Structure 1
Amino acid sequence: MSHAPDPEMLAKTETLIEALPYLQRYAGKTFVVKYGGHAMGNADLARDFAQDIVLLKAIGISPVVVHGGGPQIGALLKRLGIESRFVDGLRVTDAATAEIAEMVLSGSINKELVAWIEKAGGRAAGISGKDAGLVRARKVTRTTRDPDSAIEQVVDLGFVGEPESVDRTIIDTLTAAGIVPVIAPVAVGADGHTYNINADTMAGHIAAALGASRLFLLTDIAGVMSKDKELLSDLTPADIATLIADGTITGGMIPKLETCVTAVESGVDAAVIIDGRIGHAMLLEIFTNRGAGTLVRK
């Protein structure tokens, strides 16, 4: 007597079959994932994220993780009674702040993320841009316009940098050994100073240097929204320029999308902004027909 198959089991097999063309397409490819925002402070989401990374590695994709830590740095500075000032979303970083930022980024956050990946059954190693000359930084300055006099002023952001060059050797070495690199956005400049780098920017430059198939930026929103609050699931660099010009894209989303555009113009196949507040959002984006965020490609 034959039993009808369990509908739940059938649904699972259908899910696997739906994923098959994507599994075939991405085997052997590199994915760079910027992990940050709300997902970092939530144990359930951190566990889901770590499982996603371990699954990608198990099916022959090479994931490389770059993490942020703005809220955690802010919390420690507050506890220590150090004030923070921001210009265009970048924290003005004096020597004391830079030291604390490195402690938080290369210390507690980096090792916690490594531990989550290990707990999910993977192997990970925490490094920063300083290790094996991975990233050479250069100092960032910003010009701001005085609203009253319209005079442009150069603002010194202190020890805030951006990647000048990337040497991928240590990433290739770890990846070949079956180890997921987990990278803190800190690097040394030619002047010997340590610079704090925006994690999105760091991830974009690393993705370009690796010729990654995908750059994922995990954020605290569903993706890029139209003025009618509809998710814009596919954008080109030209679309993005138009949406910034007409005020649809504003605030902190502008630098994220600029990172996406720079990455795809530097050879990354596509960059995706996804909602890190949704469990396994990355798997939904990669392995289902409908995806789960905003995809940017040329």
Structure 2
Amino acid sequence: MAHLGVADLTDLAHAAYGRSLRQVARLHGGSKKGVYRLTLDDGTTGIAYVWRASEDYWPEHEPDPLFGNASGRDLFLTAHTALSEAGMSVPRLVLVDRDTVVVEDLGGEFLEKLLDTEALERLWDDLEAMHGRQSPRYGRPGALQPAEAPPVPDVILERALAHLEACCERVPRIAAERERLENQLRQRHSVIEPRTSYGLIHGELGPDHVLVSGGRPVLIDIEGVMFFDVEWEHAFLELRFGRHHRPAENLDPARMNLYRLAQYLSLVEGPLRLLDGDFPHRDAMREIADQNIERVLVC
């Protein structure tokens, strides 16, 4: 996949900063969008997010209204507003273009290298406040699901069963456990009590999606922001942060039990599907799939 260069982004840089563009570097990550550091003629830098088909490594797939379309300029801007209103730190907007957004460059200090600092404790406090912002319906801010939409656990169950089906086609060890795993999903779902209020979540919050600037955590890759069961977020947080995870009070154990297995299946199905294309960081994606195959099998 060809990446953008100075000639492609020079007009964008001039519109954003009124200066000439000296250098462009595509940053690591970004499977659905291109993330580029713009270096200007005076040495200052900015970050451009570019949503174009040429930047999307994912193979075509049947759209998922909540999860599958978590990319695009409009979703980014809606999420940016929602997080800002919730008191979360996000990169400052510099320019909004048709399929591109330029934001301030906060450097490359990710939280994954600072897990034993006060920044992590501040993140947990910030997330508690963010999750406390409630909505009577779930979905994207500004595009909530209708009141008659299926409950969140039903949505997760159907998604997890589809992921199980896909995993069975690719992973013989999971296929051998298919009946047991399907029964596990259905049993875990069957004991969940109804809920009528949902918290604001990031949706894919690992330590590599948090920058640290001036000691404060700053959220990036925010297009997946939505009102949802906060247990869905915490099932992912405990997976990504391990012993550093700080569980919130009053999490529903039944939801956590279902969502853990659903997350593991998602983190097998998604990486393996991504590897059908030309995603460059193949070893890392394969490792994610392998780790979660093991998690699925011991559930």
Give the TM-score normalised by the residue count of structure 2.
0.27
The structure richer in strand per residue is 1
